[in-house]
Amino acid sequence: MIENKLQIILKLKQELADFPRNGKAYECLKIMCDDSIDTLESNNDAEVTFTRWKLKAKYCGIKVANETDPKELQKWIDDKKMNILLRRIIEAEHQPFHALGYIPIIKTNETKGGKGNEKLYWLDIKEQEIEHFDETAISEYDKSDALIKKQFVTYHRSAPSMIKISWLYQIFFKKGEMRNRSLSGIFLIFVIFLSLVFWLLYMIVIALILDPLGKNFTSFNLIILLLVIFSTWLLWKYRFIPIMNLPEHRVIKAPSNFLAFSELDAEIEMFRDNEKNQITRFTRFTATCPICTAGIVLRDGKPDQNAPLVGRCVESPFSHVYSFDRITMKGKYLGA
């Protein structure tokens, strides 16, 4: 049993790492996972229980947990929120626990709480029920249910370390992540700014050499000048504008020079961590098209949609279109 439990919780830890999410339930599950694994690995089958205070202390620090009003603490997290997230993980398309036969579950002691009677939470496992369908019971209801399911998609976020970044940006993004206010964050902004200044100087030098107003200005010089103007426009539109949009849009398509040659598609996301630090990370948002089961990737919303980024089916990019919400990780059918 202990081996089984360890195996399931290790699998959960891996799922949490591979598909990062934002929010308390996600962070609390991670904390519970790590502590339970430590205990199980030392061959101890005892339940590793957590009070709300203990979870808050691990999440925000002991000082913050002590300062939190007990009533506030009760609202802060409960087993329901964590079990909802667990269910989403268990029901993910790749069915992570299917082969193992067991699924993780948050258990709690049935107490109403109060002094000396604190509610405890712990991670446990239970056998995965195999759902038996009664063929005759597939009714109109199920058909309409299938129709409703086509209206929504659930996105997955890839772990930042899975994205192959170009060697230059690997210096700034350790394991695909960077704190904006860190030394490397400030250095990166400096490098981007400097490259802009250099490009400007380069343009001025080219203009001076070619001397467009002088007598020796040939049509060959004109072609060079137009090429330089065209590449400046490309750089501006596809490199600088997206990066400048990042703080406001929170997710942008990663410009190709940020990625390794073998990496075709990725996003850059900016978010706040528990300590309110702004973090920039590489990731990839994907989903499965509920209409045709092909992959859904984030693409520009223009020209047919208003949002800057939408989920587009790779097989039918202009008909199977879904909205994208990085907080709920859900999308709604937008149609053609």
Find where tokens 């030392």 sit. 42
Residue 320 binding Zn ion, by CB under 5 A: yes
Stretch that binds Zn ion, among 38-46, 94-102, 235-243, 311-319 (CB under 5 A): 311-319
Tokens 């070619």 -> residue: 210
> What letters, b where the CB count within 10 A reaches 16 and e where it falls short, cover 139-158?
eeeeeeeeeeeeeebbbbbb
Please give the structure tokens belonging to residue 2. 């202990």
Minimum distance from CB of 309 to Zn ion (Å)? 17
288 binds Zn ion (CB under 5 A): no
Q: Is residue 33 at the binding interface for Zn ion, with CB under 5 A as the rule?
A: no
Binding residues for Zn ion, rule CB under 5 A, total: 7
Q: Which is nearer to Zn ion, 125 or 289 (CB)?
A: 289
Find residue 253's DSSP bridge partners. Answer: 267
| Sole binder of Zn ion in the list 49, 154, 256, 316 (CB under 5 A) | 316
Shortest Cβ 315–Zn ion spacing (Å): 5
Q: Does 188 bind Zn ion (CB under 5 A)?
A: no
Residue 90 touches Zn ion, criterion: CB under 5 A? no
289 to 308: interface string for Zn ion, x by CB under 5 A: x-xx-x--------------
CA–CA distance, 53 with 66 (Å, rounded to integer): 8
3-class secondary-structure state, position 321: strand
Burial code (b: 16+ CB inside 10 Å, e: under 16) for 261-276 equals eebeebbbbbbeeeee
- Closer to Zn ion by CB, 55 or 289: give it: 289
Residues at the contact surface with Zn ion, assessed by CB under 5 A: 289, 291-292, 294, 313, 316, 320
